[in-house]
């Protein structure tokens, strides 16, 4: 900066003013400084800036691997949204979702140049962490439920699951089976609860719950079992990947979709429209979740608020070929 100032024949403070776009600098001086900056290839030192300003203009994102479609979409939205606000995004990967790894990420976070953290993770891992988040670091949690302790932005899991069940009941199915996600997952739990509530609310006794682990493979295994229940005409899978495995199992066992069995998923992956048959599913607006995370955390940084609350992002039913009226209804109707 001093070099630039010397070359332009001004003081370093004037260079700083130009560099930050402050007013009170003659157009002529500004041009001279800019020319000097270009000539010397000057780039402001962000470390010194951060030191002086007391903030890094950087957001940390803690997420357990980038393995799921939803997390990635959310992360992407966070990154672009943060860039628009002049913030950078630093990744804090957690290789495996164990307590040790989470603790490690938290302690690394302590040394990291971030003003705030967005956590995309099952909240129980956060709760059980023995290493606490550094004080003065704002937190927003995506995709979880802890509105009383943290600021949360989440998809309306319950609403989406309810819509899925209702869609199938409206088509004339007597009941809806549920292929749930793993027990440890709150998202899975909430979708399962909403499924159960929607059924009992409609006066239907829920059939036994079938569990997978989000993977297509687990959906396939569950599908092989479900194919044997010939009274099962409608299945709500807790995500699209399990639905994919389910479709394959049903096909192998000669159960036609949607003629014999209707299948609905949850997520709306880009590929879901190309499944065999194209999958009816609940669309999640991950981009909106990411955007809201950034908005809300920047508000928190500016205002230093400590209020918590939950923002719900609505889902949308996407109707495709994998759901239809049950054979009985068609024959009878």
Partner DNA sequence: CCAGCGGATGTTTACGTAAACATTACGAGC
Partner DNA sequence: GCTCGTAATGTTTACGTAAACATCCGCTGG
How far apart (Å, rounded) are the C-alpha atoms in residues 237 and 319?
Answer: 15
Residues within window 24-83 making contact with DNA, judged by CB under 7 A: 24-26, 28-29, 42, 44-45, 48-49, 51-54
Q: Binding partner of residue 276 among DNA, its own copies, none, CB under 5 to 8 Å per kind? A: its own copies
Parallel, antiparallel or unpaired: strands 234-237 and 177-180: parallel
Q: Out of 178, 248, 283, 300, name the contact with its own copies by CB under 8 A.
A: 248
Is residue 17 near DNA by the rule CB under 7 A?
yes
Name which of 229, 245, 145, 126 is nearest 191 in CA terms: 145
| Closest CB 107 distance from DNA, rounded Å | 15
- The two three-digit tokens of residue 10, written as one number: 């001004």
Is residue 56 near its own copies by the rule CB under 8 A?
yes
**222 and 212 Cβ atoms separated by less than 8 Å:** yes
Is residue 202 near DNA by the rule CB under 7 A?
no
Nearer to its own copies, 52 or 230 (CB): 52
- The two three-digit tokens of residue 140, written as one number: 């927003």
Separation of first and last alpha carbons in the chain: 81
How far apart (Å, rounded) are the C-alpha atoms in residues 333 and 325?
Answer: 10
3-state SS, residue 241: helix
Q: Out of 11, 31, 98, 132, name the contact with DNA by CB under 7 A.
A: 11
- Residue 253 burial (C-beta neighbours within 10 Å; 0-12, 13-18, 19+): middle
Is residue 44 near its own copies by the rule CB under 8 A?
yes
Of 9-17, 45-53, 294-302, 311-319, the segment contacting its own copies by CB under 8 A is 45-53
Of 8-16, 241-249, 259-267, 322-330, the segment contacting its own copies by CB under 8 A is 241-249
Q: Out of 22, 183, 273, 316, name the contact with its own copies by CB under 8 A.
A: 273
Name which of 248, 254, 258 is nearest 167 in CA terms: 258
Look-up: residue for tokens 């014999």?
260
H helices of the chain, in order, are 2-8, 12-19, 27-40, 46-53, 69-84, 99-111, 123-127, 157-170, 186-201, 216-228, 240-252, 286-303, 327-332
Question: x/- string (CB under 8 A) for its own copies, residues 292-311?
Answer: --------------------
Q: Out of 217, 260, 288, 295, name the contact with its own copies by CB under 8 A.
A: 217
Residues that bind DNA (CB under 7 A): 1-2, 9-14, 16-17, 19-20, 22-26, 28-29, 42, 44-45, 48-49, 51-54
Residues that bind its own copies (CB under 8 A): 41, 43-51, 56, 58, 65-67, 72-73, 75-76, 79-80, 83, 88-93, 95, 108, 110-113, 134-135, 215-217, 219-220, 241, 244-245, 247-248, 251, 270-271, 273-276, 278
């Amino acid at each position: 900066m001093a070099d630039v100032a010397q070359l332009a024949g001004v003081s370093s403070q004037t260079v700083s003013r130009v560099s930050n776009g402050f007013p009170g600098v003659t157009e002529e001086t500004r041009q001279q400084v800019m020319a000097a900056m270009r000539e010397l290839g000057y780039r402001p030192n962000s470390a010194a800036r951060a030191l002086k300003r007391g903030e890094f203009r950087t957001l940390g994102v803690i997420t357990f691997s980038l393995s799921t479609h939803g997390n990635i979409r959310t992360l992407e939205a966070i990154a672009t949204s943060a860039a628009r606000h002049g913030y950078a995004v630093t990744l804090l990967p957690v290789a495996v979702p164990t307590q040790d790894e989470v603790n490690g990420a938290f302690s690394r976070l302590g040394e990291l140049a971030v003003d705030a953290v967005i956590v995309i993770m099952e909240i129980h891992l956060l709760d059980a962490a023995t290493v606490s988040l550094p004080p003065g670091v704002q937190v927003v949690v995506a995709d979880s439920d802890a509105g009383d302790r943290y600021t949360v932005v989440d998809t309306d899991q319950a609403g989406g699951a309810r819509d899925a069940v209702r869609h199938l009941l409206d088509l004339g199915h007597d009941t809806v089976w549920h292929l749930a996600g793993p027990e440890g997952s709150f998202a899975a739990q909430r979708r399962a609860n909403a499924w159960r509530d929607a059924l009992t609310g409609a006066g239907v006794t829920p059939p036994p719950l079938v569990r997978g682990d989000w993977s297509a493979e687990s959906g396939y295994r569950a599908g092989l079992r479900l194919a044997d229940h010939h009274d099962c005409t409608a299945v709500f899978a807790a995500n699209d990947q399990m639905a994919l495995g389910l479709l394959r199992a049903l096909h192998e066992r000669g159960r036609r979709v949607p003629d014999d069995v209707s299948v609905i998923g949850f997520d709306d992956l880009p590929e879901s429209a190309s499944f065999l048959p194209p999958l009816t599913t609940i669309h999640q607006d991950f981009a909106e979740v990411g955007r809201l995370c950034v908005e809300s955390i920047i508000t928190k940084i500016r205002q230093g608020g400590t209020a918590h609350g939950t923002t719900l992002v609505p889902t949308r039913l996407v109707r495709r070929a994998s759901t239809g009226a049950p054979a009985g209804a068609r024959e009878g109707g």
